[in-house]
Structures are given as C-alpha cells and as structure tokens.
Amino acid sequence: MNIRNVAIIAHVDHGKTTLVNELLKCSGTFRENENTSNLSMDSDPIERERGITILAKTTSVMYENCKINILDTPGHADFGGEVERIMHMVDGCLLLVDAFEGTMPQTRFVLKKAIQAHVKPIVIINKVDRANANPAKAVDEVLQLFMELGATDDMLDFKVAYTSALNGTSSLDPSPSSQKPGMSCIFDLILKEIPEPQVTVDGPLQIQDALLDYNDYVGRMGVGRVQRGTIHLNDIVTCARLDGTQKQFKILKLMGYRGFSRVEIKECSAGDICAFAGLTDLNVGETICDPTCVEPLPKLHIDEPTLQMTFGVNSSPFSGKDGKLLTARQIDDRLSKEVQRDVSLRVSRVPNTETWVVSGRGELHLGILIENMRREGFELEVSRPKVIIKEIDGVRCEPFEDLSIEIPNDFVGDIMTTLGSRDAQLIDMDANDVNTKINYVIPSRGLIGFVSNFLTLTKGYGIIAHTFKDFRPVSSAAKIGERQIGVLVSTDTGPATPYAMEHVEERGVMFIHPTDPIYEGMIVGENKYDTDLAVNVCHTKNLTNQRSANKNQTVVLKTPRKLTLEACLDYINSDELVEITPNYFRMRKRILGLADRKKYEAKFKKEL
C-alpha cells in the first residue's frame, strides 16, 4: 500500500489540532451530510476546555490512493516527551509556526527532535490572516533556527506552505489574498516531499511500541509502526523486554485508524501504524517480534520527571462531605491505572502512610491528573510542587529551563525585578516600539508560582513560554519560588459570617465568601505582611437588649479573590496543602490546630 507517516509539531497554540481537523475535513473522510462542527482530535473534556493537546493522537486519511497517517503531537513542554518517541514512527513532519509570533522555545525543542531523528520537514506558516502577521519574517526565523540546530543541507531546502487553519484555507504564496479554500496544497507537498516508510515488507514480524494507550476491557495497548513483516490478530508473538528477557503472548486486539475513529482490523503490514493489546505490563520501547526471529530494536528515550508532589488521603474535618472516592485503596488503584497509560509519570507510596509521591514533567502535567481525579469524584490533599534534585558526578543538580517572554514595554522593569529575585539569568532581549522580547535561563523551581504572578503583573498582555534545558548545580538561592507574603488562617470551624469578615478584610485580601464552610487551619485570605495571622471569620455579633445606632446598616464586603486549582498549587508554601474535592478546593495548613502549629514552629526554629 502507498503510505505516508507524518507528525505535526509546533509550539503550543500555534494551531496543530485545528490544522489536523481541516486536513480531515478536506480529505473526504466524512460524508457530505455529516456534522463536523464539533469534531476535534482533542476528545478529552479538559483538552477542549483549555484548547491544548495533552496526549498524542493518531488519525489517517486517504488522498489520491495514498494512506496518510497523521500524528497530532502535544505542544506544551510538559508533554514534549511524546514528540521524541513519535519521531521514530514517522518519515516526515509538518513544522507549524505562527505568522505573528514566529519561532518560540517549544518550536526549537520539537524541531531539534525532528532533526536528530533525520525526519524530513515541511514548514507551514499558519495564521497568515492574523493582524500584524509577518510570514516572511517567520520563514527567516525558521531558517535561522534550522541553521542553529545543525540541520543538513537537504533539510535547509525545506518547502513552505501558508495557511489559515481556522478559516480552512491554504496557499503556496505568502500573501493572505492568495489563500484558497481547502488543504490540497498541503496534501500535495506531503506526497511529493515526504518519503515512503523505510521498512521491510517481507520477513518476520518486528514492531516497537512508541506510545501507550489504555482500554478498560483489554488493558494496556501499545501503539507503533510495523517495521518488518505483518502483524495479525491472534498471532503468538514474543516481546523483547527492556531488561533483556523475553515473554510470549497472544495479540488479543488489533486496532487501526480512520478519521477520528479507531477501528478493529485483522492485520497490519509493514509501514503502517496500529495499536495492539495482549500484554498487560507492556512498556514503551519494547519490541514485538516473531518468536522464531527475536531482534530487538534500539531502546527509545523516555524523559525523566522533573517535578514531584505528595498526594494523600483527605484528612480535613470536611472529609467525605463532597466526594465518593476517599480511601487509600481507591486512590492507589487510580494512580496505578494512570501509570499504565502515562509513561512520564512515576508513583511511589510512602511506607506506612496513606500518601504517595507522584513525579511528572511539570505543573501542568500533574495539575491535569489532579483535575481528572477531582472530576471522577475523588477527594485528596496535595502538597506544593517541588523539583527533583539529581546527583550528577557527586554534585547535587536541579533542572533549569529556557524561558521566553514577550511583554509590553511598560512592564519590563517589574518583570525583570521579579525574575531577578527568582535567580533567572538574562540571555538577551529585543525591543520595539510596543513590546520587548526577553530570553532567560531559570531554575525550574523559580517558575513555580510565577505564571499566575506574570499574568497579574502584565495585566494579561504578556506571552510566556518555557521548556526544559538541562540539569545544573543547585542554585545558592534557597528561597526561590517560596511565597514571600503571609496568609490569614482561621482559628474556628463553622460558616463564615459577614460580621466577622468585615473586621478581618482590613488585614488583607479574602479568599472566601460569606456562609462558606470554614474549619480551623484553613487559609481564608492573604495577609498584608510577610507573617501568618490567625483570624476568626466565624463569630457572630453578640445579641443584647440594647438598640444599636447602626443596626440597619448593611455590611458591604469587597469581592474576594478567586483562585483556580493551578493558582492554589502555585500559591501554597511547603507547610501548606490544597484539599481537593469534586466541587471545592481549599488551601490549608498541614497542622490545623493553632497551638500544635506554634509548638511545631518553635521546635523547628530550635533545631535550626
């Protein structure tokens, strides 16, 4: 069969998924009367809500008697590990670049992976209809990036197409007026420029799984390209394990791709991509072979986690009032299930406790796991994220990241001061009449809690992007990323009253509304100063038989600050937790009682 395997790679929000949707619509995959308005490769509710791709997805279309397998990859740095493994499944890639923003940190990351894998690139300049778009400048930036990354002369001779994926138009000319409906010029470039898979059609089976999926009925499924031979349903095959051992199993299910659907198939030949099930403990990078010819393929690299958090059973006084999944066994089963499908996640239970250390690729990676568990009905408490320290050649090292920000000129001073306090190193900056683009290298822990602060400082006008760089010796600044302001902590349990809140809100900013249920040790607001303050937001006005001069006055309270789940995780310090239930998330102190907390703090200071 005539096959092309191509990945779509880009910086986050440059339009990968929108382009894939248009390619599917323009390929004739759907019936003329089929409603395609709600179709999207991002099928997960969180993906739709946030407009991001979390897990790589495979689809296929037929164009001029050629089967084109398209892999939509994540654009966010936390999920970049999948991009690297996908490069082993494809022979070409579409590098998508925003005509206005140009190349960004994640553009460099994904292109570097494509060049290392010797994958043939086609550059697509997207959003050419955007105000102030500059397609020519974007192409120049891409060419510069290719040269910086050491691309071969063959790769430097890349072909360029111009699109407005949102409008479903494309062209080979940079002028927006030349845009025509449809994506035929993209398909034509794929057929002309992307080579057919370099595989062996005949011979004993050989397939390596580059991605994992999970099915409630058949368990863990591997996704990969058949390198040699043909895989059949019910075949007896041998898995060459990563530790050098071998294990035989039966192919219980074989799935192929057509449009948005995954369909059951009887066989899959060399060069094509499929999903298979039958081995419950399959790992990424293991090779499935014919039992008579076991030849493992080179191992695939899997990015190590850089950030970890502690998950625990909800121990607050309100435990069990909102969620249905509360026990350690239920949380343990759920985390084990997540590890089955997410190879970048690590989970280890702390001995003799009801807590787990969960390690991932970043705040977004772990935040989405927490959000999914919350929606499923779990109650849990989680700690502040912290970076994973590695020992390299006897030196303690921590992860550092490339940080790129673009901000209005009015905010440059505040942002540079804030980043300086987080031990960020300035690399370069480029200013024009309106905006300034600044590049930094910063410790990963310096970014914890920075994104929400960044949006506030720039009044929502700033653009921020960061990607993992390398491990370096631990920064000398011990307090990087810790919140420098104190909080208001409740001393009582009960509903919050307007009368009490009126007297407390002069101390700082409130996080709660009147009548919200409160418990001792819960964080109810932010203090004006850098120390924590114990407050009572539950007491009511004493009733007497004397008439008050202001008895008919209405209490007017300021609007409390509303915090999202990510904002709460960013906000808390190491002595605090976030309680998460299906309908609420509350910040609290680890030690709820005021007296117990003071004893612990006094003991801690004495030990220091």
**Tell me, what CATH number does 396's domain have?**
3.30.70.240
Residue-wise pLDDT tens digits, 382-403: 998 888 888 888 888 888 888 8
Domain boundary among 254, 274, 289: 289
Residue 382 located in a structural domain: no
pLDDT at 544: 64
Residue 444 located in a structural domain: yes
**Strand blocks (E) in 147-229:** 159-164, 169-171, 180-181, 206-215, 219-228
Same-domain pairing of 495 and 461: no
Residue 371 located in a structural domain: no
Same-domain pairing of 529 and 435: no
Residue 313 located in a structural domain: no
Confidence label for 81 from pLDDT (cuts 50, 70 and 90): low
Same-domain pairing of 64 and 211: no
- Buried b / exposed e along 226-254 (16+ C-beta atoms within 10 A): bbbbbbebebebbbbbeeeeeeebebebb
Domain boundary among 193, 224, 258: 193
Residue 590 located in a structural domain: yes
Residue 363 located in a structural domain: no
Q: Tell me, yes or no, if the pTM score tops 0.85.
A: no
User: What's the whole-number mean pLDDT along residues 30-58?
Assistant: 54
Same-domain pairing of 277 and 129: no
Tell whether the model's pLDDT for residue 35 goes beyond 60.
no
Please report which helix (H) or strand (E) contains residue 509, including its range.
Answer: strand 508-510
Residue-wise pLDDT tens digits, 197-252: 888 888 888 898 888 877 777 778 888 888 888 989 888 999 988 888 888 989 88
Same-domain pairing of 591 and 459: no
**Tell me, what CATH number does 242's domain have?**
2.40.30.10
Total domain count, the chain: 4
- For 512, residues 6+ apart whose C-beta sits below 8 A from its C-beta are 496, 501, 518, 524, 525, 537, 560
Same-domain pairing of 217 and 158: no
- For 164, residues 6+ apart whose C-beta sits below 8 A from its C-beta are 126, 127, 128, 129, 170, 176, 179
Please report which helix (H) or strand (E) contains residue 189, including its range.
Answer: helix 184-193
Residue 139 located in a structural domain: yes
Same-domain pairing of 414 and 517: no
Distance from CA of residue 74 to its chain's centroid?
A: 8
Same-domain pairing of 139 and 280: no
Domain extent at residue 248: 206-289
Confidence label for 18 from pLDDT (cuts 50, 70 and 90): confident
**Tell me, what CATH number does 79's domain have?**
3.40.50.300
Same-domain pairing of 270 and 417: no
User: What's the whole-number mean pLDDT along residues 365-382?
Assistant: 89
Same-domain pairing of 37 and 164: yes
Same-domain pairing of 399 and 274: no
Q: How far apart are the first and last CA of the chain?
A: 70
Residue 546 located in a structural domain: yes
For the chain, the average pLDDT equals 82
